[in-house]
Amino acid sequence: MFTGIIQDIGIIRRLQRKGDNTEFTVFSDKLAHDIKIGDSVAVSGVCLTANAVDPKEHQFIVTAVPETLQRATLGDLAGGDQINLELALQPTGRLGGHFVQGHVDTIGRCSAVLQRAGSWEIRFDFPQEYGRYVVEKGSIATDGVSLTVHDVKPTQFVASIIPHTWESTTLGLLKAGMRVNLEFDLLAKYIAKMTGLQTSDRITLDKLREYGY
């Protein structure tokens, strides 16, 4: 389990095919010394397991299986690319963002990046069938970053990015047309299932009140 609060921007040092899988060697000056073999690491929002660690070289290795490569944007990565990194939440830690599993639901796309006075607004497109999980002022993990969304439409949402998040994550590298990993709020998915919401339905504040939330 993660929180969507990014701890470091890592760098892909090497990609290597191992059968149908892809092995990623990741450089992280801040986190490599805290990672042990078997630990879970969120790589741009995808929960992967560290299978080798070299603290002296500030690097670790994770492996993605075909299902993960197909569902997420990890297959787009190349050597030298930057990625968001977060270690698993400790029971004693603060939950600064929201509960993030690291299980990507779908791939979205950045459709616009607008600079405002002291912040940025990024608009994201997503497949319509996931619209029932998106609620105004709700949370969505975008490339592993916990974002509060607004201006929600059936296939779009907007997130406002403060300077710290812009500089401390890969969101500052986004341009229109780039793909991103999206994980919708876990609670929204359970609520949609329990209330029988259909694909065309959306969770709204009125619906939440109707069901006692």
Q: Does residue 82 share a domain with residue 113?
A: no
Range of the domain at 30: 8-87
Does the CA dihedral 93-99-100-101 come out positive or negative? positive
Please tell me whether the overall predicted TM-score, pTM, comes out greater than 0.75 for this model. yes
Domain count, the chain: 2
Q: Does residue 146 share a domain with residue 76?
A: no
User: Measured between alpha carbons, how far apart are the two ends of the chain, in Å?
Assistant: 23
How many Cα atoms are found within 13 Å in the side-chain-facing hemisphere of 125?
Answer: 10
Q: Does residue 125 share a domain with residue 76?
A: no
Q: What is the mean pLDDT of each run of 10 residues along the chain (213 residues)?
A: 96 96 97 97 98 97 96 96 96 84 97 96 97 93 97 97 97 98 91 69 58 54
